Structures are given as structure tokens and as C-alpha cells.
């Protein structure tokens, strides 16, 4: 069994027993434990068997590469090795596997006219293989890989035509796979795709349209999600009895000074601009949070524009959006300190999480440990706060944690060390906070999903960010998947449905926690 040693470099210098303490215990019966991936990041075979190119293929495989010079042309080669993926999932003992369907593998030019039977066969095989091993498929329809043809012809999400095109793709997937798939996430992290795309970090999504383009593209995505949800509701739900939601990136915003009312409202605004932008229309009232409308208008006026950059919804559109999600998928990685911007402070936001329009100052806390990416602070208690917040502020009735995982830098030249105790600690800490959210705060979270099943192509960072429970040696033509220590740790958590008293892995975590608490107290006393 994996060990969580006391001396691993995974300390939390701001350790506070009341907030961070370990609370052993199990999860509610039927809780889902899973692992996730996405098509572009693992499949490879980007030109095979009739697949059409996506905007990510063009960006990373043709026009440029990731920062480490690699591409996603082969990556984990899951298109050919999906049986191996299912084998390791079964070894882990997960109850579900979250993967995504590549739209342009199924519809190479984005429309039904181009239907590619080979692509459909691939996903049917994967789903059947999972079910044969008793693993529930949890399918994302869109994980940032828009068919290139739709970008060329329609300018992607800037064009409302995509609402119907996405709906038709979704309808096809519901009808083809829905007899076996009961969990659907329409979109994965649209904030990341569109905001990061607009800043040139991922494939361009809004061209030269800037801020107005970002708001317009998100509006199309929201309508596409809602339209697909209604299609499921009307045409498939009765027979298939599944659920349709979406996954959002839920970076927590902690007020820099919690006693300062302006910092508290700034932090609320930060969350509304990142998460509420999507969750508020879908779960609350069919419209953006009021504060968002107010602040975008204010900024647009200050910029000398005649109208707000945030386009309004008509009453029909509001009716379409309101109530159109059965669950929210929470992807949680990090937190930020947020404060009110001082009067006349025209400095650019500290990082892209602090969008200008929210008028907040966003920074990292140097006391929080960082992951393998310098802008990812590790803040487990932020998960608990984010879960409470989406339940309370956006009235989300049902949540799955659809991603949570540790970025770790590895340059690929040195032998990879499979002893990744830091990852086990990371998951132990987050699962602990999740359990508190469920048992102490009563948040209805029904599943936890590790990102990632295996090392893969981490977008602009290529193969240098390893986040998997399994290591993949990308130089090995066989792309062998090797379990890291954290895979053993997670297997134990799943086997015991959490941290029951007396279980060996629980004792290890407990000891590690106590040592950590002692160390922190010791250093405070000095």
C-alpha cells in the first residue's frame, strides 16, 4: 500500500487545526469515486479513421507546439490503447470514468452530414468496455476541441448558429450512447476555453473581438448548453433517465482581509464573474448575477462605449436558461486572495483570474504552497468553501467534483519517480475537505473525480506537467501506464469509501496530519 510519509514536501505553512484538521470518516453509500481525462489530451490518432481536425489540433499539432516543443499527435495513444485505460481504471476500483467525446471524430466537419462511423464505433467500444468492468461512463460532450470547420465557416462560438449545431451533435450522442450513458456534462470549463483562448494561451476563440467577443461567445455556449439540456429533457429523459449538467472551473476567491467589508464583496464579485457568470443563469434566474451586469456596464461606460459589453438575454432566452442543468460539475484546483481595487488604481489585473470588469485586485498568497505550476496554490479548504458557495449562492441542488488534481513539473529527461507522496497528500487533504462539506455542511456532493487518470498532454505545458495517478513514458512506443504510489493510495480510499477508523491508509494520513500540525505549531512558537 502507498505510504504518506511525514517528510514529504507537502506542508501547509498556514495549517490551522480548526480549519484544516483531519476528520476521518466514510462517505455516504453510493458515493462515486472516479478519474477523468479528455479526448484531445489522451487520444492521439488525430488524423486517423476519418477524424476531422479540431481547433486544438490546428493550434498544437500544426501551427505551433506546446512550450516543451511537444504536440498531442500521439500523447497517450488512447485511441488504440483504450482497453489498457479501462484495465487501469478497473485496477483502481473506480466507480466512474469521466472522458470526453471528440466532436470532430464523430462529425468531422461538425455537422451530421459528415457522420464518421469509425469514430462512433470507438466510443461505443470504450463505453462497452467500461460497462463490462462495471465502470459508469461519465461523458463530457465538449472539452475545448471545436471542429475546425465550424471555426472556419462560422467563427466558432461567436456565431449563434453553433447553438443548433451543438444541439444536433448532443442529440446524436444522446441517441447513440444514451442507452448506456447516464451522466452527461455538456461543456467543460467554458471560462478557461474562452477567456484563456482570448488571451492566446489556448487556441483562439474570439479572434480580434476582445472583451465583447468573450461575452458573446460565453452567451452562445450558455444557450447551446441549455438547448441541449431541453433536447435531453423532451426527447430522452423519460426513457434514458440520465442527468445533464456542465463542469465549471471553480477557483475560490478568499477576501484578503475578511474583516474588511469591501474585500468581502470584492471576493464575492470575483466568484460571480468566474462561476456565477455560468451558474447564475442556469440555476437561479436565467440571467447573469446583478453585480456582473452592474460592473460590466460601469466599466463599459468608463471606457466610453455606448452600450454594455455584456449582451442581454431576452425573456425567451431567460426561460430557456433557467433551470436547465441537473447538476454542476465542480473542477477545483486553486484559490486566490481578493481585495477591492483602490480608487484610481488603473494597474492591470495581477493575473487573468482578475478580470478587469470585476474591479477586483487578485493575488496569490505567498504562504500557500504551490504546485508544479507557479500560479497554482494548493488550498484544500478552498474546495469546501467553493462547494458551500455554489450551493448557497446559486442554489445548486446536486454537485459532482469533476476534477481535482496536482500539477507536478517533470522535464521528461530524467527518470520519473513513481513515489509521488505529495499527490497522495494532496488528494487526502482535498477529500478531507469534501467530506466536511458533505457531512458537516450538508452540501449534496455525490462524487469525486481525480484529474487525471494518467499523465497526458497538459495543453500549453505539453508533457511537462504530470498529473496522473499513472505515469506514462511518452518516449516508450508502447506508452506503458505505470501506477504511481498515489494510485495505491486512491485505491485504498475507494475500497474503504473514505477514511474509516482503523484502516491502514487512514492511520497513515492521520499520522501525517498530526506531524504537520506539530511542525506548524512548533514553527509558530519559535
Give the nearest distance from C-beta 374 to ligand NOJ in angstroms. Answer: 13
Of 425, 447, 429, nearest to 438 by C-alpha is 447
Tell me which of 43, 84, 129, 189 is the catalytic residue. 189
Q: Is 351 exposed, middle or buried (0-12, 13-18, 19+ CB in 10 A)?
A: exposed
Of 137, 26, 1, nearest to 494 by C-alpha is 26
C-beta atoms surrounding 475 within 10 Å: 9
* 403 flagged as catalytic: yes
Tell me which residues in 297-316 interact with ligand NOJ (CB under 6 A): none
* 189 flagged as catalytic: yes
Tell me which of 43, 403, 408, 485 is the catalytic residue. 403
Which residue's C-beta sits nearest to ligand NOJ?
A: 189
Contact 394, 428 (CB under 8 A): no
Give the nearest distance from C-beta 491 to ligand NOJ in angstroms. Answer: 22
451 binds ligand NOJ (CB under 6 A): yes
Closer CB to ligand NOJ, residue 27 or residue 457?
Answer: 457
Integer-rounded Cα radius of gyration of the chain: 22
Can you tell me the distance from the alpha carbon of 298 to that of 26, in angstroms, rounded to the nearest whole number?
48
For residue 248, what is its C-alpha cell?
A: 465549471
85 binds ligand NOJ (CB under 6 A): no
Closer CB to ligand NOJ, residue 84 or residue 458?
Answer: 458
Q: Which residues pair with 35 in a beta bridge?
A: 97, 450
Cell numbers 476582445 correspond to: 210
Binders of ligand NOJ: how many residues, by CB under 6 A? Answer: 8
Give the nearest distance from C-beta 403 to ligand NOJ in angstroms. Answer: 6
Closer CB to ligand NOJ, residue 447 or residue 498?
Answer: 447
Torsion of the alpha carbons at 136, 142, 148 and 153, rounded to the nearest 10: 130
Closer CB to ligand NOJ, residue 56 or residue 391?
Answer: 56
Closer CB to ligand NOJ, residue 157 or residue 313?
Answer: 157
Tell me which residues in 248-287 interact with ligand NOJ (CB under 6 A): none
At residue 360, φ and ψ (nearest 5 deg) are -125, 155
404 binds ligand NOJ (CB under 6 A): no
Give the nearest distance from C-beta 480 to ligand NOJ in angstroms. Answer: 21
Give the nearest distance from C-beta 124 to ligand NOJ in angstroms. Answer: 24
Give the nearest distance from C-beta 388 to ligand NOJ in angstroms. Answer: 21
Beta strand segments in 298-363, E: 328-331, 335-340, 360-363
Give the nearest distance from C-beta 38 to ligand NOJ in angstroms. Answer: 5
Tell me which residues in 110-149 interact with ligand NOJ (CB under 6 A): none
Closer CB to ligand NOJ, residue 188 or residue 432?
Answer: 188
Can you tell me the distance from the alpha carbon of 265 to that of 267, in angstroms, rounded to the nearest whole number?
5
Residues 6+ apart with CB under 8 A from 87: none
Of 301, 319, 321, nearest to 310 by C-alpha is 301
458 binds ligand NOJ (CB under 6 A): yes
Q: What is the CB-side half-sphere exposure of residue 297 using CA atoms within 13 A?
A: 9
Contact 387, 443 (CB under 8 A): yes
User: How many separate helices (H) and strands (E) can be counted in the chain?
Assistant: 20, 15
Measured on CA atoms in the order 442, 447, 450, 452, is the torsion positive or negative? Answer: negative
377 binds ligand NOJ (CB under 6 A): no
Contact 320, 237 (CB under 8 A): no
Closer CB to ligand NOJ, residue 371 or residue 509?
Answer: 371
Give the nearest distance from C-beta 187 to ligand NOJ in angstroms. Answer: 10
Distances (CA, A) of 243 to 238, 479, 489: 11, 34, 30
Closer CB to ligand NOJ, residue 61 or residue 188?
Answer: 188
Tell me which residues in 41-60 interact with ligand NOJ (CB under 6 A): 41
Closer CB to ligand NOJ, residue 245 or residue 286?
Answer: 245
C-beta atoms surrounding 200 within 10 Å: 10
Give the nearest distance from C-beta 168 to ligand NOJ in angstroms. Answer: 24
For residue 237, what is its C-alpha cell?
A: 429523459
Can you tell me the distance from the alpha carbon of 269 to that of 523, in angstroms, rounded to the nearest whole number?
35
189 binds ligand NOJ (CB under 6 A): yes
C-beta atoms surrounding 297 within 10 Å: 16
Residue from the set 129, 403, 420, 455 that interacts with ligand NOJ by CB under 6 A: 403
Residue from the set 71, 116, 188, 466 that interacts with ligand NOJ by CB under 6 A: 188
Tell me which residues in 323-352 interact with ligand NOJ (CB under 6 A): 331
Contact 191, 248 (CB under 8 A): yes
Residues marked active site are found at 189, 403
Return residues touching ligand NOJ (CB under 6 A): 38, 41, 188-189, 331, 403, 451, 458
Amino acid at each position: 500500500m502507498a505510504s504518506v510519509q511525514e517528510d514529504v514536501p507537502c506542508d501547509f505553512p498556514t495549517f490551522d487545526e480548526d480549519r484544516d484538521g483531519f476528520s476521518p470518516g466514510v462517505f455516504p453509500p453510493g458515493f462515486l469515486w472516479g478519474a477523468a481525462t479528455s479526448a484531445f489530451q489522451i487520444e492521439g490518432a488525430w488524423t486517423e479513421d476519418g477524424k476531422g481536425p479540431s481547433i486544438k489540433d490546428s493550434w498544437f499539432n500544426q501551427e505551433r507546439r506546446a512550450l516543451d516543443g511537444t504536440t498531442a499527435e500521439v500523447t497517450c495513444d488512447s485511441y488504440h490503447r483504450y482497453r489498457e485505460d479501462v484495465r487501469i481504471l478497473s485496477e483502481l476500483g473506480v466507480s466512474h470514468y469521466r472522458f470526453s467525446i471528440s466532436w470532430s471524430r464523430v462529425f468531422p466537419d461538425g455537422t451530421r452530414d459528415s457522420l464518421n462511423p469509425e469514430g462512433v464505433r470507438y466510443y461505443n467500444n470504450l463505453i462497452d468496455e467500461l460497462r463490462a468492468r462495471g465502470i459508469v461512463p461519465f461523458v463530457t460532450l465538449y472539452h475545448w476541441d471545436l471542429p475546425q470547420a465550424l471555426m472556419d465557416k462560422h467563427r466558432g462560438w461567436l456565431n449563434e448558429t453553433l447553438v443548433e449545431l451543438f444541439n444536433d451533435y448532443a442529440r446524436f450522442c444522446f441517441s447513440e450512447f444514451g442507452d448506456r450513458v447516464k451522466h452527461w456534462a455538456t461543456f467543460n470549463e467554458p471560462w478557461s476555453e474562452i477567456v484563456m483562448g482570448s488571451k492566446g494561451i489556448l487556441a483562439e476563440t474570439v479572434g480580434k473581438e476582445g472583451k465583447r467577443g468573450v461575452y458573446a461567445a460565453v452567451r452562445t455556449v450558455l444557450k447551446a448548453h441549455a438547448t441541449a439540456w431541453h433536447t435531453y429533457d423532451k426527447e430522452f429523459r423519460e426513457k434514458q433517465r440520465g442527468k445533464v449538467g456542465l463542469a465549471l472551473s471553480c477557483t475560490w476567491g478568499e477576501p484578503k482581509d475578511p474583516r474588511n467589508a469591501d474585500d468581502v464583496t470584492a471576493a464575492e464579485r470575483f466568484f460571480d464573474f468566474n462561476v456565477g457568470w455560468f451558474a447564475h443563469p442556469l440555476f437561479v434566474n436565467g440571467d447573469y448575477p446583478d453585480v456582473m451586469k452592474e460592473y460590466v456596464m460601469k466599466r463599459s461606460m468608463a471606457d466610453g462605449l455606448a452600450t454594455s459589453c455584456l449582451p442581454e438575454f431576452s425573456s425567451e432566452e431567460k426561460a430557456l436558461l433557467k433551470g436547465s442543468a441537473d447538476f454542476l460539475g465542480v473542477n477545483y484546483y486553486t484559490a486566490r486572495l481578493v481585495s477591492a481595487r483602490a480608487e484610481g488604481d488603473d494597474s492591470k489585473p495581477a493575473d487573468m483570474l482578475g478580470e478587469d470588469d470585476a474591479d477586483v485586485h487578485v493575488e496569490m498568497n505567498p504562504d500557500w504552497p504551490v504546485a508544479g505550476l507557479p500560479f497554482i496554490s494548493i488550498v484544500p479548504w478552498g474546495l469546501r468553501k467553493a462547494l458551500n458557495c455554489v450551493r448557497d449562492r446559486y442554489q445548486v441542488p446536486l454537485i459532482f467534483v469533476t476534477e481535482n488534481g496536482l500539477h507536478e513539473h517533470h522535464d521528461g529527461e530524467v527518470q520519473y519517480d513513481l513515489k509521488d507522496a505529495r499527490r497522495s497528500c494532496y488528494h487526502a487533504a482535498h477529500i478531507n475537505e469534501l467530506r466536511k462539506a458533505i457531512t458537516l455542511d450538508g452540501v449534496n456532493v455525490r462524487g469525486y473525480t481525480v484529474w487525471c487518470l494518467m499523465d497526458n498532454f497538459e495543453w500549453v505545458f505539453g508533457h511537462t506537467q504530470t498529473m496522473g495517478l499513472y505515469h506514462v513514458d511518452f518516449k516508450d512506443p508502447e506508452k506503458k501506464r505505470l501506477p504511481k504510489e498515489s494510485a495505491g493510495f486512491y485505491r485504498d480510499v475507494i475500497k474503504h469509501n473514505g477514511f474509516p477508523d482503523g484502516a491502514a491508509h487512514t492511520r497513515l494520513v492521520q499520522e501525517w496530519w498530526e506531524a504537520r500540525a506539530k511542525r506548524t505549531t512548533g514553527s509558530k512558537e519559535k
